[in-house]
């Protein structure tokens, strides 16, 4: 039998069976190499993700720290940049970012904002190294996180006066009475002996804490006829006093409560001191002057001078006859010249009182030696209230007294001293008829694009038709402006609302036809005026002073005014 030609050679068979095994081993080696490379890549990506996430978390911490530092420092602007910076640095330390070891913290007043007329912006930058974990394998031990923040402080707007005096109005008196000038009025003299200041159309006013808000003072009385006053504040009203150079002095005209008689029309003669309701009960008034050290926070204010108890428990009337017949004469006579001692509050009736003078040291309240004369240059705060600072509980302060004390303020000295209300003021107006215009508030160009909010409390309690208009300073001259308005009681009950066109007769605050109606009696009237984005670009009349105009036949009224630029007082700026 022959050998078949189809039989394979043994060697050929071995080679054929070995080839797949060799390919399999090579493929396994490639997979291992790819897996190893992929693992390294995965670990690298994971390392980057972990380190980047850690960096991102820390950068948020740096951003929050920068925000906190900007907010902490900006309240010291515009006058005290050094304190603003230090406050920011102190906050940075609290947050764990003390300069050094790669950490830098900078805080500076924004120069561009200053150039634009807004010196109240603080810029803060924090830079800190963030340590890495896996990136160290590639030689990267840290990544720098740097974040910045900007904060602004919307200051309380100046109110009531662009001058060195506040609340000046002629002393109305009985024509023909002893000491009464022709025409039935006496001009208030200048505290510094210069020319008599021009009338501003009102006196500053304060009502006892036991009074009623419905009489026009929104902050001092603790209640109204049927509810506790939610706006009550034991501190009353603040007035900002600017002393440009050393040697300034602060005076209050007629700081004492001295009740006067009513005019035939029902108004009050003189500066307007009067009981509201029962007469012959004791009235308290407190004046305290603080050095603000040119900061916006009150935490560092120091007391310069105080009235102590000089103007407390005052149960007295002016019985000279010059200012009408008082409601009662069975009390102390506080007519000019009737009291000889400066340590008795009534001595200062119709006189300029240097704040602090005549205060009995042994009975002083929060009193420091000296008076508010020879002051160093700077900004001061005069607080006027009827609540006893030593016992601020409303029940302990004039709880049964309903009375009003009116006054004026003047600051003297070289340069251009100023005094004005700080965000809120209560005033007494005695309008004889016609059009009267009053300084309302100063709003600078830095507030362009925001909304101006004007609050007028208990406005329009006059005896004749009264119309109210608002004058804008935009464009460098005065012009009537339109506005929208709402009103509500202090309890929150809604009152009249609507809008007023710029060319109209204004908002009617009193309507009289036979009898008079007062639609805003005991209500808070809120007026909103949007400021355009170009506000102030064409100039501002007297630097931005808005005015309120009354067109009234006759009457007198006590009202409270507040002006705000809407927005948080201290807030961050979105880039």
> Which pLDDT band holds residue 266 (cuts at 50, 70, 90)?
confident
Domain extent at residue 283: 154-187+200-226+238-431
Residue 335 lies in a domain: yes
Same domain, 422 and 325: yes
Q: How far apart are the C-alpha atoms of 81 and 261, rounded to whole Å?
A: 52
Strands 316-317 and 332-333: parallel
The count of domains in the chain is: 3
> Is 362 a residue whose pLDDT tops 70?
no
Convert 72-107 to b/e letters by CB count within 10 Å (16 or more is b).
bbbbbbbbbbebbbebbbebbeebebeeeeebebbb
Whether residue 415 is found in the same domain as residue 499 = no
Assigned domain for 102 exists: yes
Q: Do both 545 and 424 map to the same domain?
A: no
Specify whether 41 is located in the same domain as 65.
yes
Q: Kindly state the helix (H) or strand (E) to which residue 47 belongs, with its residue range.
A: helix 10-74
Residues 112 and 219 reside in one and the same domain: no
Q: In whole numbers, what is the pLDDT of the chain averaged over residues?
A: 87
Residue 181 shares a structural domain with residue 146: no
Burial grade of 15 (CB within 10 A; 0-12, 13-18, 19 or more): exposed
Task: Measure the CA–CA gap between 428 and 458, rounded to whole angstroms.
Answer: 12
Average pLDDT over residues 531-557: 90
What was the pLDDT predicted at 515? 85
pLDDT single digits (tens) 7-36: 555 555 555 555 555 556 556 666 677 777
Q: For the chain, give the percent of residues with pLDDT over 90.
A: 56
Which residues are bridge partners to 510 per DSSP? 466
pLDDT at 401: 82
Q: Which of 38-42, 56-60, 202-206 has the lowest mean pLDDT?
A: 38-42
Residue 375 in domain: yes
Contact between residue 335 and residue 319 where contact means Cβ atoms under 8 Å apart: yes
Same domain, 322 and 268: yes
- Does 329 lie in the same domain as 243? yes
pLDDT at residue 367 in the model: 52
Q: Is the confidence at residue 1, as pLDDT, over 50? A: no
Q: Is residue 8 included in any domain, yes or no?
A: no
Sequence-ordered alpha helix ranges (H) in 534-573 = none
Per-residue model confidence as pLDDT tens digits over 122-135: 999 999 999 888 77
Q: Are residues 293 and 420 in the same domain?
A: yes
pLDDT digits (tens, 9 = 90+) for 177-190: 988 988 889 999 99
Domain finish residue from 431, 461, 478:
431
Q: Is residue 455 part of a domain?
A: yes
pLDDT surpasses 80 at 43: no
The predicted-structure confidence for 453-509, as pLDDT tens digits, reads as follows 999 999 988 777 889 999 999 999 999 999 999 999 999 999 999 999 998 999 999
pLDDT tens column, 154-180: 888 999 999 999 999 999 999 889 889
With a cut of 60, say whether residue 365 has pLDDT above it.
Answer: no
Distance of alpha carbon 372 from alpha carbon 91, whole angstroms:
35
Pairing verdict, β 158-159 and 418-422: antiparallel
Task: Name the domain boundary from 363, 397, 431.
Answer: 431
> Are 204 and 74 found together in one domain?
no
Q: Cα(403)–Cα(368) distance, rounded to whole angstroms?
A: 29
Instruction: Note the pLDDT of residue 268.
Output: 84
Assess if residue 44 is contained within a domain: yes
With respect to residue 531, please indicate whether it lies within any of the assigned structural domains: yes
For residue 394, what pLDDT is reported? Answer: 52
Q: How confident is the model at residue 396 (pLDDT cuts 50, 70, 90)?
A: very low
The model's pLDDT over 137-147, given as tens digits with 9 standing for 90+, comes to: 778 888 899 99
Q: Say if residue 475 is in the same domain as residue 421.
A: no
Q: Which of 407, 431, 455 is the last residue of a domain?
A: 431
CB 342 within 8 A of CB 356: no
Q: Answer whether residue 94 is part of any domain.
A: yes
Same domain, residue pair 109 and 253: no
């Amino acid at each position: 039998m022959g050998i078949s030609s189809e039989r394979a050679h043994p060697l050929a068979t071995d080679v054929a069976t070995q080839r797949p095994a060799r390919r399999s081993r090579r493929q396994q080696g490639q997979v291992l190499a790819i897996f190893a490379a992929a693992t390294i890549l995965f670990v690298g990506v994971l390392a980057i993700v972990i380190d980047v996430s850690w960096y991102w978390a820390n950068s948020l911490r740096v951003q929050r720290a920068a925000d906190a530092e900007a907010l902490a420092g900006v309240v010291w602007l515009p006058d005290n940049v050094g304190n603003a910076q230090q406050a920011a640095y102190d906050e940075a330390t609290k947050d764990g970012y003390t300069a050094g070891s790669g950490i830098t913290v900078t805080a500076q007043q924004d120069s561009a904002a200053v150039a634009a007329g807004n010196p109240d912006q603080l810029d803060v930058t924090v830079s800190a190294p963030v340590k890495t974990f896996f990136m160290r394998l590639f030689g990267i031990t840290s990544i720098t996180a740097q974040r910045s923040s900007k904060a602004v402080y919307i200051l309380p707007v100046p109110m009531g006066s662009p001058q060195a005096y506040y609340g000046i109005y002629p002393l109305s008196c009985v024509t023909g009475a002893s000491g009464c000038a022709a025409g039935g009025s006496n001009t208030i003299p200048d505290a510094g002996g210069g020319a008599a200041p021009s009338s501003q159309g009102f006196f500053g006013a304060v009502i006892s804490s036991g009074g009623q808000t419905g009489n026009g003072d929104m902050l001092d009385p603790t209640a109204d006829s049927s509810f506790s006053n939610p706006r009550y504040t034991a501190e009353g009203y603040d007035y900002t006093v600017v002393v440009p150079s050393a040697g300034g002095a602060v005076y209050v005209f007629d700081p004492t409560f001295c009740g006067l008689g009513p005019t035939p029309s029902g108004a009050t003669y003189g500066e307007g001191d009067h009981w509201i309701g029962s007469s012959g009960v004791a009235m308290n008034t407190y004046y305290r002057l603080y050095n603000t050290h040119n900061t916006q926070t009150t935490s560092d204010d120091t007391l310069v001078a105080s009235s102590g108890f000089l103007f407390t428990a005052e149960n007295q009337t002016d019985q000279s006859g010059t200012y009408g017949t008082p409601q009662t004469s069975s009390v102390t006579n506080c007519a000019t010249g009737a009291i000889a001692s400066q340590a008795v509050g009534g001595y200062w009736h119709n006189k300029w009182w240097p704040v602090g003078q005549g205060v009995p040291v042994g009975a002083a309240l929060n009193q420091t030696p000296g008076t508010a004369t020879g002051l160093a240059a700077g900004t001061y705060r005069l607080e006027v209230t009827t609540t006893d600072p030593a016992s601020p509980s409303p029940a302990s302060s004039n709880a049964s007294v309903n009375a009003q004390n009116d006054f004026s303020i003047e600051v003297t000295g070289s340069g251009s001293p100023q005094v004005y209300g700080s965000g809120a003021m209560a005033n007494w107006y005695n309008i004889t008829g016609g059009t009267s215009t009053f300084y309302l508030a100063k709003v600078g160009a830095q507030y362009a694009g925001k909304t101006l909010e004007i609050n007028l409390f208990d406005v329009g309690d006059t005896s004749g038709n009264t119309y109210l208009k608002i004058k804008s300073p935009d464009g460098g001259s005065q012009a009537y402006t339109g506005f929208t308005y709402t009103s509500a009681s202090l309890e929150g009950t809604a009152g009249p609302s609507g809008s007023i066109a710029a060319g109209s007769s204004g908002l009617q605050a009193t309507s009289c036809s036979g009898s008079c109606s007062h639609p805003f009696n005991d209500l808070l009237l809120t007026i909103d005026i949007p400021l355009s984005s170009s506000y102030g670009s064409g100039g501002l009349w007297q630097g931005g002073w808005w005015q309120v105009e009354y067109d009234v036949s006759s009457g007198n009224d006590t009202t409270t005014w507040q002006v705000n630029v809407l927005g948080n007082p201290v807030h961050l700026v979105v880039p």
